[in-house]
Amino acid sequence: MTQIARDKVRGPATGLKVVAALYAVGAVVGIVLNALGVGMGAMEEQQAYAAMSGAVGIVVALIVLAYSVFIWIAAGKMADLKSYNQALIASILAMLPCTLCCIVGLPIGIWSVVVLSNGEVKSAFTPS
């Protein structure tokens, strides 16, 4: 039964790692662009974008980078059927529309939550 559950979580766990990698790349690019002064603030005609430039943009990108690392780690635990709660939190974080990567994160996050909701999968997890 554990192998069946492991097979069911393999795809969503891999998908979460892809989402985490995309978020991390986006965050690093955001940090570099904001540090160079060519982030969203370069679009001066859009005041909302200007508010997300400079130090604020760097802080936001660091937050996205931190939760991308969490998603990556939790996806690894999900693949090993460890820490159900972390896997569920990572699935929800993947769905948040914080970056353009949510286009990928939303369906993968939903897929992960659906798989994690399966009783057979849920019971196969060991606490950690």
Mean pLDDT of the chain: 85
Q: Which residues contact 69 (CB under 8 A, 6 or more apart)?
A: 20, 24
pLDDT tens-digit profile of 5-59?
899 999 999 999 999 999 999 899 888 888 887 755 455 555 555 555 677 888 8
Report pTM.
0.83
pLDDT at residue 101 tops 70: no
Task: Give the pLDDT of residue 128.
Answer: 60
The tokens for 24 are 């991390």
Rounded Cα gap, residues 47 and 63, in angstroms: 22
Rounded Cα gap, residues 33 and 28, in angstroms: 9
Measured CA distances, 100 to 41, 73, 104, 113 (Å): 17, 21, 8, 20
Q: Give 67 or 128, the one with higher predicted confidence.
A: 67
Kindly state the average pLDDT of the residues 94-117: 86
Rounded Cα gap, residues 59 and 64, in angstroms: 9
